[in-house]
Amino acid sequence: HSLEYRKKHVAIGKHNTSYGSGLGDAPFVDSKNSAMDLKKWKNQFQLNFQQTKDPNTLVFDMIGIDAALANAIRRIVIADVPTVAIHRCYILNNTSVMQDEVLAHRLGLLPLCFNPDLFEFPPDETVVTMIDSIPEPEENLNLVFRLQVTCERDSSGKLQNQTVYAKHLKWVPIGDQKKRFKDNPPKFVYDKIIITKLGIGQTIDLTVHCAKGIGRDHAKWSPVATATYRILPSILFKKPLTQTQAKELVDICPLKVFEIEEGVVVAKNPRKCTVCRECIRKDGWDDLIALGRVRDHFIFSIESTGSIPPTQIFLTALEILQNKIDRLSNNLAAET
Amino acid sequence: MNAPERTQAFVLDEDSGEVKIVYSADTKVANAGTFRLNKEDHTVGNLLRMQLLRDPNVRFAGYYHPHPLVYFLDMKIQTNNSTVAPVEVLSSAIEDLANETDHLITQFQDAMESWKRENDHAEMATQF
């Protein structure tokens, strides 16, 4: 593989990968120039949105950044973007089959549709042991929901409330929250999430306080189902293929990456490629096809749980990255 | 049971005098030093290391995160000559990263605007 190829791609062979990015693009940077020619980078950096079927998933391409930056953003999206979720459960009565702690755990994981910027982080709390009464919630820190469900027979003899859904949790506004959130009351993203099931006569009566937190503390506060990126595969032909080889190649690819255009086989849909390496598995095909990944082309996929829109998640993640870097810069200046 | 509090992973313990960055010059190697970054992990560590490696003044740059439950990084930097100190090199790397992130934010917002214009039915959830 030529140096030009190595600069731009990570090569993937039949049994191994070569020219991986442990050092990133550092070996290929022309060390006569300045370390980071920002203007040149800005000109070749691209960010393109892609179509998705799900409005809560954002898929976009970032071309021209480094693997470390892509990973840093991914880590921040998963662990450092704050959300508001159910934090403390004060259970007055629970005669259902589900234990208190299991119920509380499930409640914490329910995604809450609420803008976390409206709240502040709660102060550090000491470990709570025994309490006499539910602590006072604060209007800048907590949301309060109430869950009161009993499974009983109604007047016509039918069983009601056999299943407890997320919609059974009712918001209780405290302080000036009723006025503040009049247009946009806090609610759960999916009303139909099953919390637990009740038998006849069983009842659940609890109050929950919601608080702001980050995914690093507990996964319930992570705003994404997951955030992933993959690197665009690149398929280049080292030698021209014969007609039979071309037909074979088009058939062998399970994802229909190749097509024959004007008698020549081309890699029409490299985005669909999952690098299964079927196309280079046969003897000798390794010399025909150069399979690899384009080093700096990242296809991000941010799947929000619905609590925060995915574009907002990404922007918040970038702000958090800025804050982290600024904090280091200030502390470094103070240290020296 | 023995695990430390989760919040200790990202909150600086200022009461016991913990500072974000502590520098100690290397006694045996010339033009080298170690920066201890408290309450940081691979998110920032790898990013800084990659940026440092692009700098032609840097001869050696590496970091380690000794244990997942111990919340600091050690970053070792060695420069090519005594005219450039490790501190300078680190601060210029941080500055470059800050510029890159700023540019990313503006680019993303521009891309969002042009996407909204091209697809005026909001397929993408952008509002609460």
Alpha helices (H) along A183-306: 243-252
pLDDT in tens, A279-336: 888 888 888 888 889 988 999 999 999 999 999 999 999 999 999 999 999 988 887 6
pLDDT in tens, B69-120: 888 999 999 999 889 999 999 999 999 899 889 988 988 888 888 888 887 6
Among A24, A35, A76, the residue with its CB nearest the CB of B55 is A35
Whether the complex's predicted ipTM is more than 0.85 is answered with yes
Please indicate if any CB of chain B lies within 8 Å of the CB of A145. no
Model's pTM, two decimal places?
0.90
Among A32, A308, A327, the residue with its CB nearest the CB of B20 is A327
A94: β partners: A204
> Minimal Cα distance from B52: which residue of A?
A35
**Cα–Cα distances in angstroms (integers) from residue A9 to residues A235, A266, A293, B25, B92, in the given order:** 10, 19, 5, 38, 28
Mean pLDDT across A81-92: 95
B93 burial (CB, 10 Å; 0-12 / 13-18 / 19+) is: buried
**Would you tell me which residues 290-309 of chain A have a C-beta closer than 8 angstroms to some C-beta of chain B?**
304, 308-309
**CA gap B8, B6 in Å, rounded:** 5
Interface size, chain A vs chain B, as Cβ–Cβ contacts under 8 Å: 154
Which has the closest alpha carbon to A237: A295, A291, A281, A297? A291
**CA gap A183, A279 in Å, rounded:** 56
pLDDT of residue B123: 52
* CB-CB under 8 Å, A328 with B87: no
* CB-CB under 8 Å, B108 with A335: no
**Smallest CA–CA separation between A270 and chain B, in Å?**
23
* CB-CB under 8 Å, B125 with A56: yes
